[in-house]
Chain A
Amino acid sequence: MSEVPRVVLSCMLALALLGSSASAQGVGTGTPLRDPAIERANATHLASLAVDARRQRTVADSIRKWAQFSDTVRDGRIRIATTPELVELARRIARDAEAALARTFGPSADVAPMTFVMRGVTGGNWAKQARLERWISDTLEGAIAIRLQGEPGVNGPAFLVDGFAKKQFGELDSATRTWLRYPLQPAHDRKLERSAIYVDIATSENRIATECRVGSLERCREGFAFEQPADPVMSWYEPANRHRIAVRTFTRRRRDPVLERCSQGDDQACIADLRSWAPSDLPPPLSSSARHSLAWVALEIGGEGALARLGSSTAATVDQRLADAARTTPEKLIGAWRDSVTAARPRPVAANPGTAWAAVVWGSLLGILSMRSSRWRTR
């Protein structure tokens, strides 16, 4: 509510300015303009006043927009500015936010106070909303804009964590951002995520990924592609990989003669085709999910302040930056990542002894229950 006076004041200021400019020009007074020189000077002055008035109107408009975030909720280090209709939800989110952030980022998340600006999406003009969000972020320095879509009450803190992750991503250097490709996604089950990565690597037809799985840390490093090799088409892929990757686009590029030859098994054609691709379109031996899991391992090992260290590291390469966050060496970090992924290997169909015993005990128990049925009991 504290913004209302500012809105009123700005509007009054804008009106006063407009009024004064009008009065200065004699608008409405009926004063005739006779001298052409005075006329030109007045016209120039009027134009500059109009620009001023527009500026003032923009300020007033901005203040009016900001005024809708008229409620602020605080809980611990979390501050959420929001609209009146979302204030209750904001309160709940703020209450759960620290725990949600801790669950997601562990002690690696910053301990500094954090400000979020939260608004619901009510349809309408997306471009306007995006402009407003940009404006919010710019106006409230360091604030994280979060936009609630769908049913926000269900997973409110997740929106906040997501907003935090995006903000952190934006603060990383461009090389790390390019390498990660997208913000670190909060995962519900980190083990399950690593299990999927194990399957991904175990079933990869890429030689580098296979050798990484078998135990070569050098190959893992190569697979992460911290630096783009001079010729990734030859460094990363075998002929079979090249053929498979190139012909993926065959349906939409059926008339391409080079691709046609590639699809018929001409490796030189596949090489030529893949070399025409943008480097970022070439799939690295280890996927973006694997890269993200490496970043999460770095944050886990690094513990407190790891996220801040990742953002502030000035190391020349991405692997060294991740290692700085983890306070270890790149080799040890990649080793820890490989160990964590190997440990998450999904258990195949084989029933472990616990499962087998449980089944035997339950089966026997149900069998005994059948014998004890009231139908058989002597009255």
Chain B
Amino acid sequence: MFRSILYTQWKWARVALLVIAVAAVAVPVGSVRAIGGVVISTSVGDALNTMRVWSVLYVLLAALAGLILAISAWAADQRGHHVYALSLPVPRWHYVLLRFAAGLALLLVPALLVWLGALIASAIVVLPAGLATYPGALALRWLLAAFVAYALFFAISSGTARTAGLVLGVIAGIVAADLMLALMDQPAVVIEFVVSKFFEWPGVFEVFTGRWMLIDV
């Protein structure tokens, strides 16, 4: 059953996956080309700044891969009002688990391509002393970030409209609380607090922060 679910999810997501796969190779190779290719043509500091600019693309790509795979996993079920899922002779959690695992398996493809692209980029560049490449670490970090993004969007997609409304309500409540504080001439710290909890360890988005640089000190 897992194979058939994997196959159907592959069929639904393959075009988007192909685009992500191309980007997964192109981003690391492109980042190295941006600093001059084989020999770094800019100053080392400028090269690092360029790497920092390109690092945003890894984060975006991870989030995008997670989003596309999660949405494509549920799109057909949502169109069919989950009739197919409900007609299967398996517990529903089992069905969700199979969908989740199939998406994860598909996520390995772009992660491997990020690694491959980073390896190619590392192989073609000659670095000055003090700098090093991190292809394996970059690919691992990308996989972890894409996994978190995928799980988050998967949970949102599998939930009901009521759950989505609840989440949106909580977000609106946080913004409203900050506005109220601002109106009362108090420091508006609610959003800041919540964001820090999400983006600082052990927050859910902490894996997206930090230096995502293929070439670093």
In the complex, the answer to whether A358 meets B155 with C-beta atoms within 8 Å is no
B165 to chain A, nearest CB (A): 12
In the complex, the answer to whether A205 meets B43 with C-beta atoms within 8 Å is yes
**Closest chain A residue to B86 by CB distance?**
A376
Residue A200 at the chain B interface, CB threshold 8 Å: yes
Residue A33 at the chain B interface, CB threshold 8 Å: no
Residue A43 at the chain B interface, CB threshold 8 Å: no
Residue A26 at the chain B interface, CB threshold 8 Å: no
**Closest chain A residue to B101 by CB distance?**
A367
Within the assembled complex, what's the spacing in Å between the Cα atoms of A204 and B131? 11
Residue A366 at the chain B interface, CB threshold 8 Å: yes
In the complex, the answer to whether B207 meets A210 with C-beta atoms within 8 Å is no
Asked, given contacts A210-B129, A349-B138, A370-B159, whether A364 binds B151 with beta carbons under 8 Å apart, the answer is yes
A56 to chain B, nearest CB (A): 48
Interface centre among B132, B147, B163, B212 (most CB of A within 10 A): B147
Q: Which residues of B contact A369 (CB under 8 A)?
A: 155
Residue B89 at the chain A interface, CB threshold 8 Å: no
B1 to chain A, nearest CB (A): 16
Q: CB within 8 Å of B: which of A340-365?
A: 345-351, 354-356, 358-365
Within the assembled complex, what's the spacing in Å between the Cα atoms of A132 and B198? 49
Asked, given contacts A210-B130, A362-B151, A367-B151, whether A348 binds B211 with beta carbons under 8 Å apart, the answer is yes
Residue B193 at the chain A interface, CB threshold 8 Å: no
In the complex, the answer to whether B163 meets A373 with C-beta atoms within 8 Å is yes
Within the assembled complex, what's the spacing in Å between the Cα atoms of A354 and B210? 13
Residue B145 at the chain A interface, CB threshold 8 Å: yes
In the complex, the answer to whether A370 meets B140 with C-beta atoms within 8 Å is no
In the complex, the answer to whether B45 meets A200 with C-beta atoms within 8 Å is yes
A99 to chain B, nearest CB (A): 16
| B217: contacting residue among A202, A355, A358, CB under 8 A | A202
Q: CB within 8 Å of A: which of B131-156?
A: 131-132, 134, 137-138, 140-141, 144-145, 147-148, 150-152, 154-155
Q: Number of residue pairs across A and B with beta carbons under 8 Å?
A: 134
In the complex, the answer to whether B137 meets A363 with C-beta atoms within 8 Å is no
Q: Which residues of B contact A375 (CB under 8 A)?
A: 82, 158-160
Residue B44 at the chain A interface, CB threshold 8 Å: yes
Within the assembled complex, what's the spacing in Å between the Cα atoms of A345 and B216? 11
Residue B97 at the chain A interface, CB threshold 8 Å: yes
In the complex, the answer to whether A203 meets B130 with C-beta atoms within 8 Å is yes
Q: Which residues of B contact A363 (CB under 8 A)?
A: 144, 147-148, 150-151
Asked, given contacts A348-B216, A354-B202, A375-B82, whether A202 binds B211 with beta carbons under 8 Å apart, the answer is no
In the complex, the answer to whether B210 meets A349 with C-beta atoms within 8 Å is yes
Q: Which residues of B contact A345 (CB under 8 A)?
A: 217
In the complex, the answer to whether A349 meets B144 with C-beta atoms within 8 Å is no
Residue B2 at the chain A interface, CB threshold 8 Å: no
In the complex, the answer to whether A374 meets B201 with C-beta atoms within 8 Å is no
Within the assembled complex, what's the spacing in Å between the Cα atoms of A40 and B217? 84
Q: CB within 8 Å of A: which of B40-98?
A: 43-45, 47-48, 55, 82, 92-93, 96-97
Residue A213 at the chain B interface, CB threshold 8 Å: yes
In the complex, the answer to whether A359 meets B158 with C-beta atoms within 8 Å is no
Q: Which residues of B contact A202 (CB under 8 A)?
A: 130-131, 217
A149 to chain B, nearest CB (A): 21
Q: Which residues of A contact B140 (CB under 8 A)?
A: 350-351, 356
Q: Which residues of A contact B36 (CB under 8 A)?
A: none
Within the assembled complex, what's the spacing in Å between the Cα atoms of A144 and B144? 53
| A346: contacting residue among B82, B92, B130, B216, CB under 8 A | B216
Interface centre among A349, A372, A375 (most CB of B within 10 A): A349
In the complex, the answer to whether B144 meets A355 with C-beta atoms within 8 Å is yes
Interface centre among B43, B48, B204, B212 (most CB of A within 10 A): B204
In the complex, the answer to whether A349 meets B45 with C-beta atoms within 8 Å is no
Q: Which residues of B contact A198 (CB under 8 A)?
A: 217
In the complex, the answer to whether B207 meets A358 with C-beta atoms within 8 Å is yes
In the complex, the answer to whether B137 meets A351 with C-beta atoms within 8 Å is yes
In the complex, the answer to whether B154 meets A370 with C-beta atoms within 8 Å is yes
**Closest chain A residue to B139 by CB distance?**
A349
Residue B10 at the chain A interface, CB threshold 8 Å: no
Can you report 11 A-B residue pairs in the complex whose CB atoms are below 8 A from each other?
A203-B47, A203-B48, A348-B216, A349-B55, A351-B137, A356-B144, A358-B207, A363-B147, A366-B151, A370-B100, A374-B159
Question: What 4 A-B pairs have minimum CB-CB distances, sorted nearest first?
Answer: A350-B137, A366-B151, A203-B44, A376-B92
14 further contact pairs, Cβ within 8 A, besides A349-B211, A370-B151, A370-B158: A203-B47, A345-B217, A349-B137, A355-B201, A358-B203, A358-B204, A359-B147, A361-B202, A362-B148, A366-B154, A367-B154, A367-B155, A370-B96, A375-B159
